[in-house]
Chain A
């Protein structure tokens, strides 16, 4: 009986193992392989050495990612808290509203931001009509960050909300009983309790923000190259798979480090609880 169930479990797991080997392990291997070879297949460190040239792009990507993540967090935390306070029915509707934009292609939504932000766009036409001096918004770093925040905000709201919705409200009451005012309740009770949600939200926003490429091309006008743009160009235009792979490898390591760091954070958070 025992044996059969273990065989069964092996069989049920096997599709995933094959999947993982084919589509996760093998590509990773190729990324590493290409990073350290020339186009002819010989071992080289040239690609890795060429990376120093892309330091500004890396720094810009990381900083834009941090900014987008912080803005998302500042918007998402109160939003998730407010949603979690409502009755079940309203909660369902509001969560659906958060997810609604995700039903549309992310490319189309970014493209339409172009029409909204540009100098002859909706906002500036409106401002001119009101007699206010139009503001140049498109093709700036701010527009890129706005695009990131807009596109990735649901990934921040949803995990925080899902933790908050299951939050044991008696804890909050206990906190209030002990004489905590509103701010103390949020600071000492709600934030620590929803920390796992915040951590996964931060990861889910930071990782795609750092590696995005389409948003910066359309909203940044090609002047705010992020690391994703450079990687895309190596594969699509320059046919330099080796440099592209080396860049991807560094990006991957960077993301792994930040994720390990974030996990550390959430572990500690649980101890506090």
Chain B
């Protein structure tokens, strides 16, 4: 019976036109039946069968009989820390450009056998061998997209053109900001006309000072909460990825999007195979599967990010066919890719980011819960002792004194009582 089934399966696969070019023989693929593939991807980054779309992982399992264990992460750094700390073993990950470069340099990725990925032919030359993977041996592009400025046209009077709108005092309390250092610094760097990948410490300090200055408009640092806050009209301005703008616009039609004139970050997320992957051939099948025209189309329409797959973006039935924001003309605005930063700059970036987060220019305090007051203070670069710190220090000191006074009082009272 089992044999009959495999013969039947072999017949079906032979009839499928796409299986023709596989380097791995059908019997090798057949042998993978019942095995498991571990995939680690961004949240909300694959078509999962909602609203009648294709459930990519389920389809993969149906086609190859390989079970997919699928986990998600919020950002590159979380993914990196998790992989580095050990204790997890995945086969496929989909990091962004600069992280791929870092992982290649730290020998965390496995070379891909492109003979097993015939669908790679759909990836045009311009998305191959990019700076992060110059030899093109480690990654298969998954999405390409840009960062831009989302704004609520009901709350913002004139359409912003510049990133400096995020520093505009008119929108105090209504500005959102990236809660990760790389993207946040890139905005300041754009305004300052700096290179995103500069390796001068002074430049990073200047950018950090600009980010501190932004505290006077009380920015809210968000990750995924950006959806809730922009859709409900809670915030007026938010820097975010263009693909997600389309998702938000479905729920709030007042939202609009602009590419600021100072330039934006252009990024590529690409699928890679991890060193020591236990199921490498299955991982390659998966990478190939992601680039099947119908699967790539389903993903592109679900994620709403740009697709590097020509079978998708040349398809007139594609929802975002020739979309101006997702596929802008080359050179329409300034773009920069992230590259991996040297360890010294990375360490500096994370301490500077701690400083920025820690810095409180507004003096907005617990009392504002009741009075809604917001007293602006000037920017000082004194690292530790701001007025806020002194205030908390005094409060704690007074509290401790009160407690000690109480204890002493009790002790005296007790002694007096014992006299009788």
A interface, CB within 8 angstroms of B:
50, 52-57, 59-60, 62-64, 66-67, 114-115, 118-121, 135-137, 139-143, 145-146, 217-218, 221-223, 225, 229-230, 233-240, 265, 268, 271-272
Contacts and interface: CB of A to CB of B under 8 A. Distances in A.
A120 B370 CA distance: 17
B368 A57 contact: no
Contacts of B385: 56
Given A64-B366, A217-B221, 6 more contacts: A53-B351, A53-B383, A56-B392, A136-B374, A222-B221, A230-B354
Interface in B234-262: 234
Contact of B180 (A218, A237, A268): A237
19 contacts: A55-B384, A56-B392, A59-B393, A60-B392, A62-B396, A64-B366, A67-B366, A114-B225, A119-B174, A139-B173, A139-B218, A140-B369, A141-B365, A142-B370, A217-B221, A223-B219, A238-B77, A268-B411, A271-B414
A222 B368 contact: no
B372 A223 contact: no
Contacts of A240: 347, 350
B85 to A, nearest CB: 8
A141 B362 CA distance: 12
Given A239-B84, A240-B350, A135 B372 contact: yes
Contact of A237 (B174, B225, B350, B407): B350
Q: Is the interface of A mostly helix, strand, loop or mixed?
A: helix
Interface residues of B, number: 58
Interface in B205-247: 215, 218-222, 225, 228-229, 232-234
B105 interface: no
A147 B140 CA distance: 44
A228 to B, nearest CB: 13
Contact of B228 (A114, A139, A143): A114
Contacts of B347: 240
Contacts of A52: 384
B358 interface: yes
A119 B364 contact: no
Contacts of A137: 369, 372
Contacts of B396: 59, 62-63, 66
B115 to A, nearest CB: 35
Contacts of B332: none
Given A56-B358, A143-B369, A237-B181, A223 B221 contact: yes
A142 B370 CA distance: 8
B55 interface: no
B419 interface: no
B357 interface: yes
B215 A223 contact: yes
A271 B407 CA distance: 13
Interface in B192-208: none
Most A CB within 10 A of own CB, among B180, B229, B362 = B229
Contact of A238 (B218, B350, B407): B350
A141 B80 contact: no
Contacts of B181: 237
A239 B80 contact: yes
Given A53-B384, A63-B396, A237-B181, A141 B77 contact: no
Contacts of A53: 351, 354-355, 383-384
Nearest to B176: A221
A225 B220 CA distance: 12
B110 interface: no
B386 interface: yes
Contacts of B384: 52-53, 55-56
